[in-house]
Amino acid sequence: MSNKGREITITALKYDPQVKASKPHFVEYKLEETPGMTLFVALNYIREHLDSDLSFDFVCRAGICGSCGMMVNGKPRLACRTLTSEFKDGKIQLLPMPAFKLLKDLSVNTGEWMNGMSKRVESWIHSTKKVDIARLEERVEPESAQETFELDRCIECGICVAACGTKIMRPDFIGAVGLNRVARFEVDVHDERTTEDFYELIGDDNGVFGCMTLLGCEDNCPKNLPLQTKIAYMRRKLVALR
């Protein structure tokens, strides 16, 4: 059954924290649904035809950049990968993701948080070897390369952070994205850090031991990363050092 022509209602939070007179409030938009419409398409229609002041983020519209994360009927999702047809009653409520600095309306600053996280877990290869670009790269077994690549698929959308009950209660918690980043370098054969080195980074209640295994991160990850598997792996590996 086609939903062509169905009227849908999108209710979005509007608030500009940089303007003193601005107060958080909801604005309701009614529009005609088109076949295959995503929230990305709907929001662009709203901004072009109904409210040019509505702020939200997007870049790739293909689920690759991770920019368009927002709360959709209470769950963090990517707007570009969410079909309006999924909502049978045609009513969709949009909020900015929690845990990140609000810029305006549905737009949050995930980049600032991700940059801080990267520095906190020292997100770069630690090696004493000197790179000689005139020589062939060191051979890596396909299995090892695939294991690293699997964890490198993270697009830093912030959805796992917004879905994490621990993060909401404990602001300094590194979150699944930070723990996944550590796991990515732990399996990388180029990285020479030891288990003790990784313990110094995440071996506390704001790191791997703070995770309450609520599964919000893995349940909502748009890339279906094995977040809980890797968090459990890192916890088992580091707990022996406590």
For residue 5, pLDDT beyond 80: no
Candidates 120, 115, 128, 127; CA nearest to 200 is 120
The answer to whether the CB of 202 falls within 8 A of the CB of 178 is: yes
Torsion angle of the four alpha carbons 170, 209, 164, 68, in this order, in degrees rounded to the nearest 10: 100
113 within some domain:
no
Over the stretch 94-145, which tens digit does the pLDDT of each residue have? 999 999 999 999 999 999 999 999 999 999 999 998 888 888 888 899 999 9
The structural domain count of the chain equals 2
31 & 97 share domain: yes
Which of 70, 85, 108 is the last residue in one of the domains?
Answer: 108
Q: Which domain holds residue 52?
A: 7-108
For residue 1, pLDDT beyond 80: no
Query: Strand pairing partners for 31?
Result: 8
43 within some domain:
yes
| pLDDT in the model for residue 241 | 86
Q: Can you tell me whether residue 236 is helix, strand or coil?
A: helix
For the beta sheet containing 91-95, the strands, ordered from the edge strand earlier in sequence to the opposite edge, are 25-32, 7-14, 91-95, 69-72, 75-78
Candidates 107, 77, 132; CA nearest to 14 is 107
> Is this model's pTM higher than 0.85 or not?
yes
128 & 90 share domain: no
What CATH number does residue 172 fall under?
Answer: 1.10.1060.10
Over the stretch 163-209, which tens digit does the pLDDT of each residue have? 999 999 999 999 999 999 999 999 999 999 999 999 999 999 999 99
The answer to whether the CB of 184 falls within 8 A of the CB of 152 is: yes
Over the stretch 44-95, which tens digit does the pLDDT of each residue have? 999 999 999 999 999 998 889 999 999 999 999 999 999 999 999 999 999 9
